[in-house]
Amino acid sequence: MGLFSKIKETFVGKSTKQNEKYVAGLDKSSTSFSDKINSLAARYREIDDDYFEELENILIMSDVGVNMVMTIVDEIKKEVRIENIKDPKMINDIIVDKMFVIYANDSYMTTKINYAKEGPTVILMVGVNGAGKTTTIAKLAHKMKEEGKSVMVAAGDTFRAGAIDQLDVWANRLGITCIKGKEGGDPSSVIFDGVKQAKEAGVDVLICDTAGRLQNKVGLMKELEKMNRIIKKTIPEGPHETLLVIDATTGQNGVNQAEEFAKITDITGIVLTKMDGTAKGGIVLSIKDSLNIPVKFIGLGESMNDLQEFDLEQYIYGLCHDLMGE
C-alpha cells in the first residue's frame, strides 16, 4: 500500500476538526490540482513522453518548484517502468506518493515551536507588508493562549503606518499586553522593552513584530541584527524562533521573498497565510525545494482558529483527496 493510500485510509470516515479545516481550507487547490490530473489521465490512452511533459507542466503550474518537479517525474517514470504500468488512470497514487515521499524523506524537519526550557520564548516574526504578519501574530498568540501559555507582543514594526495600532487592537481583544513605542521610532528599543518586561512579568512567550521593508535589504538586515543582539543580551538563547510569514496566493513571488529573507536572517520556520485563497497548493513543496526550511503553520481561513500547525499527512489528504473516489 502506498503512502497516499495509507493516509486516505487514516482520514476517510474519521473526521476531526483539524482534518475538516485542511479539507475546507485546501478546497481551491485540491479541486484545481485534481481536475488537471484527472483530465490528463482521461486524454491519454497510454503513458508516453507527451503525458509526462503535460504532467510536468501541471506540477509547475501548481507552484511545485521546477527542480522538485523534475525529481518527482523521474521517480514516477522509474515506478511506471518497474511496475509496467500502461494505463494513466492507474498512476494517480504514484504521482501523489512520489510528491510527498520526496518531501518527507529528504530530511527530518520539525513543525514544533522551539520553546525555551525556562524564561520567555522569544519569537521574531518577519515578512513583507501585506503578507498578513500582524494578523498572524494575533492568531498565533490566540493559539498559544488556548494551549495555556501566557503571551505578550511587541510592536517592532514602527515604520508601517498603523502597524502599532493594529497590533495594539488585537492585543486588547486577546487580553494580552502590547509593548509599543512611537510610529517612526527605533524598533530595537521596542524589542528591548518587550524582552525586559516579558522577563519581569514571567510570561511564557514574547512575539515580536518587525518591519517588512524588503526593498531596503541592507537597512532591514542591520535592524534584524540589532534586534537579535538586544534579545541575546537578556536571553542568550533567544530568539528561539524567527518565523517568516508568506502569503500563499503570491505563489512563486512568495518563494522569492523567502529566498531573500533567508539571505538576511536565520529563518527557522515558515507561516503560510491565505492557503484557502490559492488554487496552487504546491507552494509548500516549492519552499522545501528552494530553502529546506519547515512550514510550521498554515493559514486555512480568516477566523482566529484557522491558523493550524502544519501536518504533512493532513496536507497531503487535503490537497489530493479528490484524486480518488471515497
Tell me the domains of the chain and their CATH numbers: 3-109 (1.20.120.140), 121-310 (3.40.50.300)
Secondary element (H or E) of residue 273: strand 269-273
CA separation for the pair 288, 295 (Å, rounded): 8
Look at residue 17 and tell me whether its pLDDT is greater than 90.
no
The three-class DSSP label of residue 223 is helix
Residue 105 pLDDT more than 50?
yes
pLDDT bin (cut points 50, 70, 90) of residue 67 is: confident
Mark the binding-site residues for GTP, compressed into ranges.
127-134, 209-213, 273-276
Q: If you average pLDDT over residues 288-303, what whole number do you get?
A: 90
What is the tens place of the pLDDT at every residue in 238-272? 999 999 999 999 988 888 999 999 999 999 999 99
| Whole-number Å distance between alpha carbons of 306 and 308 | 6
Of residues 290 and 225, the one with the higher pLDDT is: 225
Q: Is 119 left (phi over 0), alpha (psi -120 to 50) or beta?
A: left
Q: What is the pLDDT of residue 131?
A: 92
Whether the per-residue pLDDT at 213 is higher than 70: the answer is: yes
Average pLDDT, the chain: 90
SS3 content of the chain, % helix, strand, coil (to 5): 55, 10, 30
Q: Output the pLDDT for position 108.
A: 58
What share of the chain in percent tops pLDDT 70? 93
Lowest-confidence region among 2-6, 42-46, 110-114: 2-6
Tell if the pTM clears 0.85, that is, is over it.
yes
Cα three-residue angle 30-252-8, rounded to 5 degrees: 25
pLDDT band, residue 326 (cuts 50/70/90): very low
Q: What is the pLDDT of residue 95?
A: 87
Binding residues: 127-134, 209-213, 273-276
Q: Which of 205, 163, 166, 201 is nearest to 184 (CA)?
A: 163
Is the pLDDT at 15 greater than 80? The verdict is no
- Per-residue pLDDT band for 171 (boundaries 50, 70, 90) equals very high
Distance CA 40, CA 34 (A): 10
pLDDT tops 80 at residue 149? yes
pLDDT of residue 100: 78
